[in-house]
Chain A
Amino acid sequence: MAELIWSVDGDLAGELNMAHDRAMWRAFEADPSPGVRLRVYGWSPPALSLGFHQDQSAVDLQELEARGYSLVRRPTGGAAVLHVDEITYAVAAPLGLVGLGRAVQEIHDNIAGSLLELFAGIGLGVELGGAGPPRDFACFSAAGGHEMTVAGRKLVGSALRRGRRAFLQHGSILCGDGHLELGSFMAGLDSVAQGRARQRLEQQTCTLRSLSVELDQEGFAGQLAALLAARVGMPVRRVQDAPIRHGAEGP
């Protein structure tokens, strides 16, 4: 029976998070039977994730190592994100599922629709971002049309990978200020430039904490699961194990 399966995986290492996300997507690539997989998670230790094609030479690997942070590459596109204090979600499903769609913009719009409903339900006026300025090293320096802002400042960044039969879309909801440190891990920046990078991100982003909103992985996941399930017309089932432990393909 088609169902939306969801899990709250807690704070995991970056490599494991990306492996689980890829496994979810590849499971549907291998078997595109109707269904949806949602996982919600955090990052421990903090990690810097690069977009699929992003140049790693822009990263100060020594500084990352010195802080005990990890470097991972997402299977999706976009720019760098420093995952410190955030709620991360990942959705995978076969292409063409009623309620989620097939076209890139359609998938983004449908998932964004459920997220907008979630935020409205907790009294937060979140909007979809505009076209945004040209691509920067940092994901949160600009908001694409499918991403989310509050009063013009980016709260949610997301990215998509579309395969032949299935997609993976995942995103970060900023909870605290940890993402502002991204400039500290950019190669070749002196302290002044790092300060400017931090200032730019500070001006261009907001967080749940700055908006006086308390939300945790459990609360977020339960609500998003229900909203997505209503959108696709499927029952929900919560599981305790992350995707790979369910026997899905590894990375």
Chain B
Amino acid sequence: MRPTDRNYTREHEWVLQEGDEIVVGITDHAASELGDIVYLDLPDTGSELTAGESMGSIETVKAVEELFAPVSGEVVAVNEDLADSPEIVNSSPYEDGWFLRIKSPGGGTDVVELLNAEEYDEMVAGG
């Protein structure tokens, strides 16, 4: 069972509210399907994101994919460990492999559709 303390998106990202910040990463399903991650292009601290729009990209040994902002807001922190060790996302997608912390002015109201853990599990199982 995936962590139930957070929500999930149809783009296979997880979204965790911590105080007035939102932490974002990708799910184990995404990391597994993509394969060994070799590079992450994440937005800079201070960047303004718009929910649903492209915010960067991820490259694995098999493909390049875009990353989409799950919520609008300002990037207040980026996981710098991933620059040298992107494989952390594969080994620890929900803990050490977080991507960004976002401060959302509306408290996270400008978001894409969010699923709970059970709904995300069902979506993944449905293919």
**Hey, which bits of chain A sit against chain B, CB under 8 A?**
51-53, 75-77, 102-105, 108, 135, 144-146, 159-164
**Interface residues contributed by chain B, number (CB under 8 Å):** 18
CB distance from B17 to the nearest CB of A (A): 25
What residue of chain A has the Cβ atom nearest to residue B39's Cβ? A53
Inter-chain pairs besides A52-B59, A104-B63, 5 sampled, C-beta below 8 Å:
A52-B64, A77-B60, A104-B34, A161-B64, A163-B66
| Contact indicator B62/A146 (Cβ below 8 Å) | yes
Minimum C-beta distance from A180 to chain B (A): 23
- Contacts A52-B57, A53-B57 hold; do A104 and B62 have CB atoms under 8 A apart? yes
Residue positions of B touching A, CB distance < 8 A: 11, 33-35, 38-39, 41, 57, 59-66, 68, 127
Tell me the minimal C-beta distance from A163 to chain B in angstroms: 6
Task: Tell whether, in the assembled complex, residue A144 and residue B61 are in contact, meaning their CB atoms are under 8 Å apart.
Answer: yes
A162 proximity list for chain B (CB < 8 A): 63-65
Q: How far is the CA of A145 from the CA of B36 in the complex (A)?
A: 12
CB distance from A105 to the nearest CB of B (A): 7
Chain B residues with CB below 8 A from A51, complex form = 59, 64
Closest residue of chain B to A158 (Cβ to Cβ) is: B62
Q: How far is the CB of B40 from chain A (nearest CB, A)?
A: 9
Q: In the complex where A162-B65, A163-B66 touch, is A77 in contact with B59 (Cβ < 8 A)?
A: yes
| B29 vs chain A, min Cβ distance (A) | 10
Cα A102 to Cα B63 with chains together (Å): 12
Taking a contact as CB atoms under 8 Å apart, the answer to whether A144 and B62 are in contact is yes
Closest to B62 in A: A104
Q: Shortest 7 CB-CB distances between A and B: which pairs?
A: A160-B63, A77-B64, A77-B59, A53-B39, A104-B63, A52-B64, A161-B64
Residues of chain B with a CB closer than 8 A to A77's CB: 38-39, 59-60, 62-64
Rounded to whole Å, the gap between the CB of A88 and the closest CB of chain B is 18
Q: Is the CB of B33 within 8 A of A104?
A: yes
Measured in the bound complex, the distance between the Cα atoms of B57 and A75 in whole Å is: 11
Please give, as numbers and ranges, the residues of chain B lying within 8 Å of A102 by CB-CB distance. Answer: 127
Please, which residues of chain A bring their CB within 8 A of the CB of B62?
Answer: 77, 104-105, 108, 144-146, 160
The CA-CA distance from A141 to B45 in the complex, in Å, is: 36
CB-CB under 8 A from B65, the residues of chain A are 104, 161-163
